[in-house]
A = this chain, B = another copy of it.
Amino acid sequence: MATPSTDVRRHPERTGDAALVREVLDEALIVHVGTVRDGWPVVLPMAHGRDGDTLYLHGSAAAGVFRDVRGGSRVCVTATIVDALVLTRSAFNHSMNYRCAVVYGEALAATNLDAAVRAVVEHNLPGRNADVRQPTEAELRETGIWQLDLTTASAKVRTGGPIEDPADLDLPAWAGVVPVRTVLGEPVPDEGVTAAPPHLRD
């Protein structure tokens, strides 16, 4: 199966390894899943989870992106975390610090739906499965979860400060790094809930 090259063509020093692919997938709240439909790329956000080298994607079985997958569409799954805005003294050199993982493969219906649901539910809420009612057979049939091996994957990272043209260093503009973080706010309980909020990841 010849996938697009996962070599990072530009800035190969920013290439990451398998551990980084896992780190980015685990930290990202969602992924963006690309398929091809009638010659057009289609990119949609999806919930996901990981168990070892298996990546699970969750969507309704009726969702368009999974119609493509049933028809044999190849997928590209991309997770990106923006870590900072990098401001330079010139417009041209502005950048961002980020970590990005890209996975190519052919998605198949999950073979172990219990494990798949578990991985997706745990993804943003470690330990959550212990607190909630597990799916019925009917619910599992309605759940579209697809799986993909992490065998063809790559990661790319940009870290550090501004990279300026030396001639720009005396310009009066502010330059530096503005960190970006995704944070969880105060949980808002549903009506009638008295249980303590679940453990939330940082």
- Tell whether, in the assembled complex, residue A174 and residue B197 are in contact, meaning their CB atoms are under 8 Å apart: yes
A125 to B32, CA, bound (A): 25
On chain B, the residues within 8 Å of A41 by CB distance are: 34-36, 41-43, 73-76
A96 at the interface (CB under 8 A from B): yes
Residue of chain B at shortest CB distance from A1: B40
A190 to B92, CA, bound (A): 17
Which of the residues B45, B90, B91 comes within 8 Å of A100, measured between beta carbons? B45
Q: How many copies does the complex hold?
A: 2
Q: How large is the interface on A (under 10, 10 to 19, 20 to 34, 35 or more residues)?
A: 35 or more
Which of the residues B32, B75, B178 comes within 8 Å of A187, measured between beta carbons? B178
A195 to B29, CA, bound (A): 35
Q: Could you tell me which residues of chain A, from 97 to 156, have a CB within 8 Å of some CB in chain B? A: 98, 100, 102, 104, 117-118, 121, 124-125, 128-129, 131-136, 139, 142-143
- Tell whether, in the assembled complex, residue A91 and residue B129 are in contact, meaning their CB atoms are under 8 Å apart: yes
Name A's interface SS. Answer: mixed
A89 to B162, CA, bound (A): 47
Known: A4-B64, A47-B96, A164-B190. 9 other contacts (CB 8 A): A32-B34, A34-B41, A36-B39, A36-B41, A43-B43, A44-B78, A175-B189, A177-B187, A180-B183
Complex A-B: 21 CB contacts under 8 Å: A4-B37, A29-B85, A29-B180, A30-B98, A32-B78, A34-B34, A43-B76, A45-B78, A87-B125, A87-B187, A87-B198, A91-B117, A92-B135, A132-B173, A133-B173, A176-B193, A177-B187, A177-B190, A178-B184, A179-B184, A180-B185
